Amino acid sequence: MRWNGSSRRAEVLQAAVDLLDEVGLDALTTRRLAARLGVQPGALYRHYPSKRALLDAVAERIVVETAPDTPPEGDWAEQLRQIAGSMRRGMLAHRDGARLMATLTVPGDAAVAAFQRLVDLLRRAGATPDAAVVGVDTVICYVNGFTIEEQARGGAPGERRDQGFAAGLELILHGIAARLLAKANDP
């Protein structure tokens, strides 16, 4: 069987996502993935130069699944609430999804664009460029950290976890709002 082409690349990526969901990040090996696809492990490297590149592509896929096509309704804080919730749900939809996202080494175009959209959102709200980057990074790190713990504990999200997530996110949003207010009141 000859193995090449962009459709094969998509097939490898989908099989990697499926395998992640079935066996988790630690058991997702190129050998196991190749066996699932009925090819030799070396054939995978035609499509992804390393396991790390493949895992980054899987993480990018999760970003694409969770990033909204259009900005959510509401002010900057409400938009961040909705996007953070979507990120959490997207990571929870995949076994070890949050831990995988934490290992992302080379963000793809979709991840870079999603980050920049959030930075632009805070910039439009009045944040300085540096403060916008710090604010977005803090929100993303919070979502990721909260979700890593959630998945590590093996508990399904429920009302109590949702409330805890929302309460922590509000602390961050209040901090961003205070920073924006202080900037606005600076002479």
- Predicted confidence (pLDDT) per residue in 33-44, tens digit: 999 999 999 999
Percent residues over pLDDT 90 in the chain: 84
> What is the model's pLDDT at position 182?
83
What pLDDT, on the 0 to 100 scale, is given for residue 153?
87
Reply yes or no on whether the pLDDT at 179 is more than 80: yes
Is the pLDDT assigned to residue 55 strictly greater than 90? yes
Give the type of residue at 170. Answer: E
Where, residue-wise, is CATH 1.10.10.60 in the chain?
6-49
Predicted confidence (pLDDT) per residue in 110-133, tens digit: 999 999 999 999 999 999 999 999
Mean pLDDT of 155-163: 82
Domain with CATH 1.10.357.10 in the chain: 59-185
- Look up the CATH number of domain 6-49: 1.10.10.60
Q: Could you tell me the pLDDT band of residue 2, with boundaries at 50, 70 and 90?
A: very low
Q: How confident is the model at residue 94 (pLDDT cuts 50, 70, 90)?
A: very high
Rounded to the nearest 5°, which phi and psi values hold at 127? -75, 150
Please state, in angstroms and as integers, the Cα–Cα distance from residue 131 to each residue in 38, 68, 99, 102, following that order.
Answer: 49, 23, 26, 22
Average pLDDT over residues 7-17: 95
pLDDT confidence of residue 155: 66
The pLDDT value given to residue 187: 57
Name the architecture of domain 59-185.
Orthogonal Bundle (1.10)
**What pLDDT does residue 5 have?**
54
pLDDT band at 1 (very low <50, low <70, confident <90, very high): very low
Give the Å distances, CA to CA, from 13 to 44, 53, 137: 10, 11, 27
SS (H, E, C) the chain: CCCCCHHHHHHHHHHHHHHHHHHCCCCCCHHHHHHHHCCCHHHHCCCCCCHHHHHHHHHHHHHHHHCCCCCCCCCHHHHHHHHHHHHHHHHHCCCCHHHHHHCCCCCCHHHHHHHHHHHHHHHHCCCCHHHHHHHHHHHHHHHHHHHHHHHHCCCCCCHHHHHHHHHHHHHHHHHHHHHHHHHHHCC
pLDDT at 105 over 70: yes
